[in-house]
Amino acid sequence: MTTAPASTTPPTPSGPPVPRIAVVGAGPGGLTCARILQRHGIAVTVYDHDGGPDARDQGGTLDLHEDNGQLALREAGLLDDFFRLARAEGQEMRQLDALTGEIGFHHVPEDGERFKPEIDRGQLRDLLLRSLAPDTVRWGRTLRSVEGPAGGPRRLHFTDGTAVEADLVIGADGAWSRVRRALSPATPRHTGISFLEAWFHDVDRRHPELAALVGPGSASAADGERGLFAQRNSGDHIRVYVIQRAPADWIAQAGHTVQDTDALRALLLDRYRRWSPALRRLLTDNDGPYVDRPIHALPVPHTWTHDPAVTLLGDAAHLMPPLGVGVNLAMLDACELALAIAGHDTLAGAVRAYEATMLPRSADMQRLLDGAADGLLSDEPHQGELHHGEPDRDEPAPEPRPRPSGGAAEPSGAR
């Protein structure tokens, strides 16, 4: 038998296999996770339901807090870019008397105040998208299911018939997460509070009285059973959330659809008939149709049995009432998960370490905010604003009731 000569080429070290990481959902949480992973040289692919980055409106303005959202952007190397886009004046808050329209509480941010500046959700998403390597996000991929053995690898099946395999699936797909089904049977429940969203455009020219009423930041009013929250957005827009204690299908129960703009206006005028005429204009002078946004939350606490191949972040893990913490917590989750992956030898170890911190934190926040959506209707000021992980800040005057986060009732970007 002839023996082949030994090769003179040294073998190429194979090294450990590159883990296949799939993030489902291109919202702030999913994109933050992808960005920080890539900064650490870790490959990742993001799958999103939307047909492209501009497929739908991304929602209103939101504030990013120093201790979570801004912390995540610092780890992403994007904090300076954020401050160039953010609106410090958007931190101004006005609490108005529902019957008179007069200002009760008024917070004006100090020069250089950066605790929670405002940014439009679309601007934040664009900032994160631009920071990613080309082709990181695969658009138009609607997840149908996650299958495969516990411990992985898992297979993601999409509604277009395609499938991909991953060693770790990260569910950042929002309130109605399909990744969550691989870990938990929990589904969001209606909180008893429903929003109706309205838009005002070119407000300084077309709606100057309303622009003056809302100011450069936000304004709110409530009478115990109903309320509203108005926020200035970039581009000379104002977005208003009409807040009511009502079932999720209250429009259908009234015999209407959300397209019945005139009928809904008449209904709102009746329900808010005792309110100040100036505030009633925020209910009815909107440009275009309303958007129905019933408010849901996950059971408290929401947890699951550890699976080294699947985990969740943001609303997929801990959907709460829209009180200004959702995006901030999602970005903090994303940051901690990405850093855990970068700092552990195995994905299983990273997921376990991440969940050991995230699950207790989110359970504490869920308990704090459980039922707090009712606070949006309270006509009493609240001592201290709700911020994750910190006690009430010392303030010279009482803070207003918890305010809704801009676009917090938005549907998920990936379903």
pLDDT in tens, 51-61: 988 877 766 77
Cis upstream peptide for 216 (omega within 30°): no
What CATH superfamily is the domain 21-90+118-188+297-377?
FAD/NAD(P)-binding domain (3.50.50.60)
Confidence (pLDDT) at 217: 86
pLDDT in tens, 59-79: 677 889 899 999 999 999 999
pLDDT in tens, 300-346: 889 999 999 999 999 999 998 777 788 999 999 999 999 999 999 99
- Based on C-alpha coordinates, what's the Rg of the chain? 23
Pick from 155, 152, 129, 172: which is nearest to 35 by CA?
Answer: 129
In the chain, the amino acid numbered 216 is: P
On whether the CB atoms of residues 25 and 316 are closer than 8 A, the answer is yes
Q: Is 411's pLDDT higher than 70? A: no
Report which of residues 110 and 143 the model is more confident about: 143
Residue 185 tokens, joined = 């049977």
Other beta carbons less than 10 A from residue 150's beta carbon: 13
Q: How much is the pTM?
A: 0.84
In this prediction, residue 104 has a pLDDT band, given cuts at 50, 70 and 90, of: confident
CA distance 229 to 203: 16
Q: What is the sign of the dihedral through the CA atoms of 116, 117, 122 and 123?
A: negative
CA distance 342 to 78: 18
Strands (E), 150-236: 154-158, 163-166, 168-171, 189-200, 218-222, 226-233
pLDDT in tens, 274-309: 999 999 999 989 998 999 999 999 988 899 999 999
On whether the CB atoms of residues 142 and 158 are closer than 8 A, the answer is yes
Confidence (pLDDT) at 404: 56
Residue 164 tokens, joined = 């991909």
Residue 161 tokens, joined = 């018939």
On whether the CB atoms of residues 89 and 216 are closer than 8 A, the answer is yes
pLDDT in tens, 233-285: 887 889 999 999 999 999 999 999 999 999 999 999 999 999 999 999 999 89
- The percent of the chain in helix, strand and coil, each rounded to the nearest 5, is 30, 20, 50
Q: Which residue has the tokens 């509480």?
A: 105
